[in-house]
Amino acid sequence: AASKLEISMPAVVEVEIGGTARIECNFYIPENASYTYIDWFYVDRSNRQVRLYHITASGILEDDTDYKGRLSLGEDKALSISSVTLQDARTFVCQVGAGSYGVGENSTELSVYKVPKTPEIEPNSGGISVRSNEVPEIARCWSRNSFPPPNITWHKNGEQLHPWENEVTMKSTLTRESSGLYTVSSVLYAPVTREDRDSRYRCTVHYWLRGQRHALDSREVKVNIFYSTEHLKMQVVSSSALVKEGDNVTLVCEADGNPPPVFSFFKKNLNEWQDLSSLAEPESGVLNLHDVNKSSSGTYRCQSLDLDDMTQKEEDVDLVVNYIEGVRVKMEPSSKLREGDDVKLSCDAHSPVALNYQWRDGTGRKLADGNQLFVKNLTFETSTTFSCKVVAPSVPGLEQSKQVSVTVEGKPRIVAISSPLYVRQDEVVNLTCKAIAFPRPTVQWSINGTAHEYMDNQHIASNLTVRVSHDLLQAGAMCRVSNTLGVSEKHIQLVDQKSTAESQGVIIVAIIVAILVVAVLGAVIYFLHKKGKIPCGRAGKQDITKPEARKDKIVVEVKSDKLSEEAGLLQGANGEKRPAADQ
């Protein structure tokens, strides 16, 4: 066990500005004796001890110092200082009096710190040329409000940079603000190449805290590097892999220089180059060609000019525009066609790629494939329009069509007429006659009336409005259709509805009379059967379907008085007539 008074205190206590510092004073008195007093002091700039507290068993006395209002004591007599400032960075002393064991003291160094702000970085705003004769400024970095002053390091693509042979330099500046805190700044100077266009730079602030080194990183920045063009590329951009007439095409020129060079566009015409720069988008390296055609094909050139070193580069590209031209349809025979004739249609076109041919009629219905179409036995109803569709299968969307009209001539053919027409005398009726022909025919009627002609598709139709007279009922009407190639006529029969009704009445009466005769005949047969005149039974059955089987078989035949003027006749099996009494 210790035989003398011992006092232990931490050598250093660290506290952030604005925080609360707690300094402990632990002591040992032999034989568990009590202390007589405890005094707390701080050491001023003159190395003089200034008392803060005097503690005895009877009470605590706080001296009047600059610390008054910020001091407090713990139950273990530890000293606490609140709202720590930079001026509090000094030595604090704890002195203990223990009677016969004497007086002992120890001290603690109060270290005050302020964590620096995250560093800010600003790259060179004007850009840096790889051709610069001087080592250029890359970026600036600074961090504010720190204590004690930190230091700054630089990093490129994650690796720390170090000063090297006057090529890479870092110039640092330390500034103490009015608050007593420090602002540290640094400027990085380093040479650049075109590969540095993707390099990233950052700065790091380093500071010490509780015996350990800490760091804060800035954001990463890129620097705008200027360098001339090494590679120039020109390409054709189109909505389809193969360009066809009518497409919109964009010629794009790309250079790997920075800033981008000035672009110019040219097209080769024979041995000369036509300047197309006025058609291009300014400073974009893009030339738009709208609705291209056969003449748009050719060699195009892009030329770049670097304003930094005035160097030029050129790149050519060939534009091929696929097309179909000269579509024509030939008809054989080319002379006038008549109904019943045959015709051959031939289609031809020119293109740098292989072509397919399709034939369609006027409704768009596909008729055949191939460059020839045979149409046999022409009629007026045959489609008057045929279309040859020329398709380039290797170039999607490239196609053209050509139509040809086939005119079939012939004398008129009447296709519809309103006959027979049931009418009543003195009523007004419409007589209709429809015909087809080419050249267009005229329609004439054999009677007078109000005529109205109209075209129905390829047909000519005529409606004649007339009043039905007795003579018209008797003679009917004649429709006559004619053109330069012939005449067709058809008769319209007019039927009086009144006479038709009377005839129908006579037929109905005849049917009723026939039904009555059949009924009377059935009654006579039934009466003879009841009187036994016609045997019926297993032994007396008669076969009326086989007249040759039995000689005494009877065949009954009844004829109407109106038709034969005979009442009846019985015949025997041998065909002899019998007297009426035998019936």
| Amino acid sitting at position 425 | Q
Q: What dotted CATH number matches 232-319?
A: 2.60.40.10
Which H, E and C letters describe 461-482, residue by residue? EEEEEEECCHHHHHHCEEEEEE
- Which pTM was predicted? 0.56
Decide if pLDDT at 75 tops 80. Answer: yes
* Low-confidence winner among 199-203, 463-467, 537-541 (lowest mean pLDDT): 537-541
* pLDDT of res. 336: 83
Decide if pLDDT at 396 tops 50. Answer: yes
Which H, E and C letters describe 270-287, residue by residue? CCEEEECHHHEECCCCEE
* pLDDT of res. 283: 77
Decide if pLDDT at 548 tops 60. Answer: no
Per CATH, 117-226 and 325-406 having the same topology is answered yes
Closest CA to 484 of 336, 375, 383, 382: 336
Distance in angstroms (rounded) separating the CA atoms of residues 319 and 298: 5
Residue 566 sits at the vertex; the CA angle it makes with 561 and 567, to the nearest 5 degrees, is: 85
* pLDDT of res. 99: 87
Q: Read off the pLDDT of each residue in 58-79 and give the average, rounded to a whole number.
A: 93
Tokens of 149: 């002053």
Mean predicted lDDT score pLDDT of the chain:
86
CA distances from 11 to 8, 23, 51, 110, 207 (A): 9, 10, 19, 9, 21
Q: Read off the pLDDT of each residue in 437-447 and give the average, rounded to a whole number.
A: 91
pLDDT in tens, 134-161: 999 999 999 999 999 999 999 999 999 9
Superfamily, domain 410-496: Immunoglobulins (2.60.40.10)
pLDDT in tens, 286-309: 999 999 999 999 999 999 998 878
CA atoms within 13 A on the CB side of 522: 6
Look up residue 428 and give its DSSP letter: E
Q: Read off the pLDDT of each residue in 220-227 and give the average, rounded to a whole number.
A: 94
Look up residue 192 and give its DSSP letter: -
Q: Read off the pLDDT of each residue in 449-453 and give the average, rounded to a whole number.
A: 92
- Domain edges within the chain: 6-113, 117-226, 232-319, 325-406, 410-496
Cβ within 8 Å of residue 312, ≥6 positions away: 303, 304, 305, 306
Fold of 6-113: Immunoglobulin-like (2.60.40)
The architecture CATH gives domain 117-226: Sandwich (2.60)
* Low-confidence winner among 47-56, 134-143, 318-327, 407-416 (lowest mean pLDDT): 407-416
End-to-end CA distance of the chain: 176
Decide if pLDDT at 571 tops 50. Answer: no
Look up residue 397 and give its DSSP letter: T
* pLDDT of res. 456: 82
Cβ within 8 Å of residue 279, ≥6 positions away: 265, 287, 288
Q: Read off the pLDDT of each residue in 407-435 and give the average, rounded to a whole number.
A: 91
* Low-confidence winner among 14-18, 205-209, 450-454, 579-583 (lowest mean pLDDT): 579-583
Looking at per-residue pLDDT, the higher value among 110 and 500 belongs to 110
pLDDT band for position 340 (cuts 50, 70, 90)? confident
CATH of 325-406, one of 3.20.20.80, 3.40.50.880, 2.60.40.10, 2.60.410.10: 2.60.40.10
Q: Read off the pLDDT of each residue in 21-40 and give the average, rounded to a whole number.
A: 92
* pLDDT of res. 541: 38
Decide if pLDDT at 527 tops 80. Answer: no
* pLDDT of res. 462: 94
Distance in angstroms (rounded) separating the CA atoms of residues 251 and 266: 11
Decide if pLDDT at 405 tops 70. Answer: yes
In this structure, are residues 78 and 65 in contact, taking their beta carbons and an 8 Å threshold? Answer: no
